[in-house]
Structure 1
């Protein structure tokens, strides 16, 4: 692959479906906010200023510590501007992000609406000035339990519309079962929201099957451990269940030892709809351009492979048809 070909790939317009809003917070932004609020978060940073954690479960603790300084709607508006500037700089033209009312008003519907208004205003300005479109997917937190997930689903139902377009679940995959959260997902579905859930990142393929069969989701966050079950791969391909794959995140956290051993190429070959995302990019020292470059070099994928991945992504996006059509046209630009 020539440098010219690689340059064309990394500079393609991109669609990204799997990001955690607070997890996109640049470390400098969080350090600055902590300083303003006189909060000592030095324990969560390395000497070079990056986030510091030992493993996935410690990452969850550091993540929650970082989000602890995000206290007000204004804080989240500023965060929105910071993360969309970074995404737009990496060529992302459409992005979906996971938003949790648990972190924005403690699950109270009235408080959540204030936070959402601030985030949406910032997103509107970014779309005008940076050309990036943002949509929100409200997520319950698995390790917070199914009762709290019900409150989150009520927040989602109350604010479903053209900006809040989806509902999902993140958090510790080792806690509980997918079916424990059926009430929350049924509530969100009845409100017209599209559905996704984290599954098959740490647990095996049965977790992915349960997510599809018990919750009826249209997309799976990660889902990479489905690669060990041929029958499951066939089911995902037949039903068109899209996997929100985050290769850099998976390697960084040790789900797979290296990118060349990541199953993303196997998943594509099996006909499973696959997309590329960064998950929590500053935590995993990645960007969308870095993801594209690494995948191109490792799997020798060309420009048309990445254009196809983006077509799949916008086809699976939780947005209205007018937005989908507008973004699809941008993706085909030379």
Structure 2
């Protein structure tokens, strides 16, 4: 795998999507500042009467020492629920997140809604979660298979070349390579039928080869759990096994191995980049990316040759702000770059023509 971690751009992103995304409003340019301290990130929305309240807590900056404490309150009566708290499986913990399990001292009341907060947290800064107690919650999670998907995604193959553009967010980059690598992403997510009950379980997903060999393992908790595994090359089918461990009593439920065919997801391997789709993004650069001078010049000439309305949008290539109108119209432009590289230049563009001709192969 070459530089897959370096770029997550697909051809769709380099086409109209990249241009559209770079025309976002200026207020979207300011990075969101994390709230200091522990923050409630997720609470399982439904809990059985004799179940546990489970919450994910996140902290990004100014994290206090020790484990945060959940406060569960009956919204019908206003009473704080007595109980004990513990951390869920250590496999679920990350540097920024932990999963807390609150065990009520007595069964919860049918149909009551309970607020979930963090002890000592300023209400104006924290997020309040809610969970509802239900006697009808289906805990037969093992009977509901996870929903699987097989897709082929792309990343640049080899070292991409990048160039700078200007947008409403300041200087940004567009990257391109001559080839892309297509690989399989096998995804799993909790079945709709098991979403509520899944909040009472830790799920361990083991990815398997068709011959039964273990390829990787992922442990998750969420009422809407999702996991993925990447395969560099395609296989006739992709297999997995799920083990559920109850947070109520520690019992486990193990599903049988399940295999999903590759189907018509597409071919994997290394393929040439579609320069026609990516040319307009390259043309927005203030100077060409190394090795792509011909594409850059052709794209900028096409921009000049368009109508007055399009030319106004094309002005971003010379340093103006990004135009969402241009970005949207660029999605439909067929540049036919290879055929236009050597075309005759019209009067009035001699300066740019000379600049481009120096970089073109003869």
TM-score by length of 2: 0.18
Higher helix share: 1
TM-score by length of 1: 0.20
Question: Rg larger in 1 or in 2?
Answer: 2
Higher strand share: 2
